[in-house]
Amino acid sequence: MNKKKISIAVIKRLPRYYRYLYDLLKLGITRISSKELSERMNITASQIRQDLNCFGGFGQQGYGYNVESLFNEISNILGVNETFHTIIVGAGHMGQALANYGNFEKRGFKVVGIFDVNPAVVGTAINGIEVLHIDKLDEFIKQNKVDIGILTVPYDQTPAVADRLARLGVKGLWNFSPMDLELEHDVVIENVHLSDSLMVLGYKLNEMRNRNKSKN
């Protein structure tokens, strides 16, 4: 396939297509028009056609999209059928929650190691995986394939731990500290901003209340 460079905006929508197509497959729906998909996903049909065109475009005039082949293609692009080995650095509440979240493993993200400094958790097992002291990080990464480091360490320590992982050759970082982590190294980073999402919710709530007040 002659691959065009896919823009980051399209990439960010791919998991959403993945989810909707997965649901359609479960419902036994074998084909869907961009119009129907558009109504379900609350995206314009032209946006959908444009997005899906970026990686080949399976839509056929008068037929629509074949749900299964589109789902498979998006799964391949996202690498869902591969296994990414991940380690979690920071076995606090969030680290533990992520270690126990089965959905990630279903998507190909397998937790192979968990690290912390807290003597209360080092040596315990989370979801069957022993928590190792962070002093063992270097050795572990040298001896095991590690694709992604999940950072659930305290805010102040995040840049240093991220830098350490990158120097050890970990190429993907999933950061949970409320900062836009950036590194000099050749790594890819996804920042999860839970507080940002909550603040947007607070804003929308106030805005709705003000709107309702001015109506009355």
- Report if residue 55 touches its own copies, rule: CB under 8 A: no
| Cβ neighbours, 10 Å, residue 15 | 13
For residue 2, give every residue at least 6 positions away whose Cβ sits within 8 Å of its Cβ, in sequence order, or none.
none
Q: Which is nearer to its own copies, 79 or 123 (CB)?
A: 79
**Rounded to the nearest whole angstrom, what is the least distance from the CB of residue 125 to its own copies in the complex?**
14
77 binding its own copies? (CB under 8 A): yes
Q: Give the max Cα distance, the chain.
A: 66
**199 labeled part of a ligand binding site:** no
Distance CA 142, CA 188 (A): 20
CB 114 within 8 A of CB 129: yes
Q: Which of 7, 44, 135, 203 binds its own copies (CB under 8 A)?
A: 203
**Is 193 labeled as ligand-binding?**
no
Binding mask 159-188 toward its own copies (x if CB under 8 A, else -) reads ------------xxxx---xxx-x---x-x
When the beta carbons of 57 and 79 are compared against its own copies, the nearer one is 79
C-beta of residue 151 within 8 angstroms of C-beta of residue 173: yes
Q: Does 113 bind its own copies (CB under 8 A)?
A: no
What angle do the packed helices 8-26 and 67-78 form, to 10 degrees?
130
Comparison of 160 and 199: residue with beta carbon closer to its own copies: 199
CB closer to its own copies out of 160 and 179:
179
- Measured in degrees and rounded to the nearest 5, phi and psi for residue 132 equal -100, 155
Residue 94 annotated in ligand binding: yes
Say how far apart CA 69 and CA 146 lie, in whole Å. 31
Beta bridge partners of 131: 114
Binding-site residues for NAD(+), in ranges, read 90-95
Return residues touching its own copies (CB under 8 A): 11-12, 14-16, 18-19, 41-42, 77-80, 82, 84, 92-94, 96-97, 100-101, 103-104, 107-109, 147-148, 171-174, 178-180, 182, 186, 188-190, 192-206, 208-209, 212
